[in-house]
Structure 1
Amino acid sequence: MGASGWSYVTPCRESVGVALEALKAEVFAQLYGDGDEYASMEELHADEEFMEEEGTHSILDIRRVVETLKVPRESRTADYFTVRPLAPDRLLIHFDTERPTVQQYEDAVARSYTSMRTDCPGDLDTTLLGEHKMRWTGFYVLLHTDDLPTHVGFFGSSGD
């Protein structure tokens, strides 16, 4: 993912959309909490030139959750600035289950970053973060404790 990549785990509160908004509020506070650049997320998103051209290189660049399993395509304008679920068959490849835990997710992300640092960049294609191919988009994975969804893992890339 490089400098523009992101990966977060956040508690699953009623829905993925609620979890996304809670995470964005947390990240906004970390990046802009002093209020010097932007006083609110609304003010940040109102700066269309910045958001369309540069972005924050964080989850703040994501505007909505979509429930399609279709892989995002650069030719589909509606795919930009979205996160979508990782398909069940891809969950099985990366976790050997459709109900991964937070620890399994964190381990998969760590393996992805290790692959990025090796001399074999093609290895990234076989990792969880290698699933992500299109900038300004991402995926989410429901993470489980005792077979119940308790957290959401978000990963993707924005910016250059």
Structure 2
Amino acid sequence: MGASGWGYYVPYQEDLDGALQELRERTFRGGDYFWAREGDGVPPRARRPRPSTEEEMWADEWQQHSGTHSILDVFRVQREDEEPEICAVQPVTVEEARRATGTDRLTRAHVPALENLARERGYGRCAVLHGADGRPEEIYFWGWSGD
């Protein structure tokens, strides 16, 4: 299938991992992901209905190999002091924000300048975005999935 990028905006909350988990749950429940067992290229004998749980989805070997091409392919937000880890989300650091945009008070207008910070397949990033009043307003999650 190839690589695919994804990006999501969610309302701000201090707990970045909590925001990620809520987004993952909403994405799964909404069916907004690639399910490897459906579609024109899947032989009829291999087709399966969408799973009812993430555990069931990830237990499927076809899904394990293809991924979901969505936020479901990342599982946690890392701390700033951790090395980048596959299938995880790394917050944008103050230094990265300043280098990419000239400021550490990011807004939606800065998103295009930030997107290059997620370059490798299987890795995600996130950034807190601020409103016109300077307060945190949203979290932007983005990254790349795929083979």
Aligned residues between the structures = 131
Aligned residue in 1 for 2:36 = none
The 3 A distance-change label for structure 1 pair 95 and 32 is closer
Largest Rg, 1 or 2: 2
Q: What amino acid does structure 1 have at the position aligned with 2:109?
A: Q
Cα RMSD over matched residues?
2.5
Separation in 1, partners of 2:32, 2:116: 29
Task: Give the deviation of 1:150 after TM superposition.
Answer: 2.5
Separation in 1, partners of 2:118, 2:18: 22
Give the helix-richer structure, 1 or 2. Answer: 1
Aligned residue in 2 for 1:46 = 59
Tell me whether 23-32 or 83-92 shows the greater mean CA deviation. 23-32
CA contact (8 A) 2:3 2:121 kept: no
For residue 81 of structure 1, the aligned residue among 58, 83, 87 is: 87
Aligned residue in 2 for 1:36 = 49
Q: What amino acid does structure 2 have at the position aligned with 1:29?
A: R
Task: Give the deviation of 1:55 after TM superposition.
Answer: 0.3
Task: Give the TM-score of the pair, scaled to structure 2.
Answer: 0.75
Runs (5+) with no aligned partner, structure 1 = 73-78, 110-126
For residue 96 of structure 1, the aligned residue among 95, 102, 112 is: 102
Task: Using the aligned pairs only, state the percent identity.
Answer: 34
Q: What amino acid does structure 1 have at the position aligned with 2:71?
A: I
Aligned residue in 2 for 1:155 = 142
Match runs of 1:4-153 below 5 Å: 4-31=4-31, 36-47=49-60, 49-68=61-80, 72=84, 79-101=85-107, 103-105=108-110, 108-109=111-112, 127-145=113-131, 146-153=133-140
Runs (5+) with no aligned partner, structure 2 = 34-47
CA contact (8 A) 2:101 2:114 kept: no
Deviation string for 1:56-80 (max 9, x for gaps)? 01100111110135663xxxxxx11
Task: Give the deviation of 1:43 after TM superposition.
Answer: 2.0
Task: Give the deviation of 1:51 after TM superposition.
Answer: 4.4
Task: Give the TM-score of the pair, scaled to structure 1.
Answer: 0.69
The 3 A distance-change label for structure 1 pair 69 and 154 is farther
Q: Give the secondary structure class of the aligned counterpart of 2:79.
A: coil
